């Protein structure tokens, strides 16, 4: 019984770090934040900086999958020339976001938190620019709303963590 309690203690403490981190992240969807951070098996035993790296890795995995998804959409033939041009823009924006997130992960490891902030912000701006492209013409609906939302949410989580580390 004692050893069971002892074993459970670390994950309880880390659980509260995840919850605290998600509560302190303003403009972040709490449910999404908890689900995202808990999806990484390392989260329960890491510290705040570790959660910062994990949130960037999640954003990177997400952006990379979205980039592939956009390529499939372009090949699918389901989109007219207007939407195809927007999708081409998004493909470019997402490859830029991927490179900035990759760099921000390195910056995170080097504790260059200002650099992390600048690069993660740039990636989030890319997701907004992608989304806004579809809104330029009335009646158009972005096929990437969910993906863009995830990228900006995961970016917001990383930024909220970095603010506390600086
Ligand atoms: C928050 O995220 C959850 C899980 O991804 C989603 O089901 C819900 O719709 C989101 N809430 C808002 C307000 O976007
Ligand atoms: C992207 O993030 C959302 C929210 O955390 C998640 O539901 C989705 O599975 C993620 N996709 C990838 C490829 O990581
Ligand atoms: C984001 O990536 C692009 C392309 O690699 C680069 O030109 C830009 O400077 C980066 N932005 C930041 C803030 O690092």
Which CATH number does the domain housing residue 67 bear?
Answer: 1.20.140.40
The angle at the Cα of 43, spanning 23 to 126, to the nearest 5 degrees, equals 65
Structural domain boundaries, residue 126: 17-163
Does residue 34 line the site of ligand 2, with CB under 6 A? no
Q: Which residue CA neighbors atom 10 of ligand 2 most closely?
A: 62
Does residue 119 line the site of ligand 3, with CB under 6 A? yes
Residue 4 Cα to ligand 2 middle (Å) = 33
CB contact at 8 A, 111 and 150: no
Q: In 3D, which of 89, 74, 70, 165 has the Cα closest to residue 120?
A: 165
Cα distances from 51 to residues 47, 105, 151, in angstroms, run 6, 12, 16
**9 lies in a domain?**
no
**8 lies in a domain?**
no
Nearest ligand, measured from the Cα of 123: 3
Q: 145 is written with which tokens?
A: 């709303």
Q: 140 is written with which tokens?
A: 């158009």
| For range 147-154, the mean pLDDT | 97
Does residue 118 line the site of ligand 3, with CB under 6 A? yes
**4 lies in a domain?**
no
**2 lies in a domain?**
no
Q: 162 is written with which tokens?
A: 């970095």
Of all residues in the chain, the percent with pLDDT exceeding 90 is 83
CB contact at 8 A, 43 and 51: yes
**145 lies in a domain?**
yes
Question: pTM of the full predicted structure?
Answer: 0.88
**96 lies in a domain?**
yes
The C-alpha atoms of residue 115 and residue 125 are separated, in whole angstroms, by 15
CB contact at 8 A, 97 and 122: yes
Domains in the chain, number? 1
Does residue 15 line the site of ligand 3, with CB under 6 A? no
pLDDT digits (tens, 9 = 90+) for 3-27: 444 444 455 554 589 999 999 998 8
The C-alpha atoms of residue 103 and residue 147 are separated, in whole angstroms, by 21
**129 lies in a domain?**
yes
pLDDT digits (tens, 9 = 90+) for 24-57: 998 899 999 999 999 999 998 999 999 999 999 9
């Amino acid at each position: 019984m004692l050893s069971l309690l002892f074993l459970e203690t670390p994950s309880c403490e880390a659980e509260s770090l995840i919850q605290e981190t998600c509560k302190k992240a303003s403009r972040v969807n709490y449910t999404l934040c908890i689900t995202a951070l808990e999806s990484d098996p390392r989260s329960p035993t890491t510290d705040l900086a570790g959660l910062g790296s994990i949130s960037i890795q999640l954003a990177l995995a997400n952006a990379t999958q979205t980039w592939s998804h956009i390529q499939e959409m372009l090949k699918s033939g389901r989109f007219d020339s207007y939407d195809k041009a927007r999708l081409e823009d998004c493909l470019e924006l997402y490859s830029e976001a991927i490179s900035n997130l990759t760099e921000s992960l390195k910056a995170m490891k080097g504790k260059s938190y200002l650099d992390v902030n600048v690069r993660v912000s740039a990636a989030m701006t890319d997701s907004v620019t992608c989304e806004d492209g579809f809104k330029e013409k009335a009646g158009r609906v972005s096929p990437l709303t969910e993906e863009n939302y995830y990228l900006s949410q995961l970016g917001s989580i990383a930024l909220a963590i970095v603010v506390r580390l600086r």
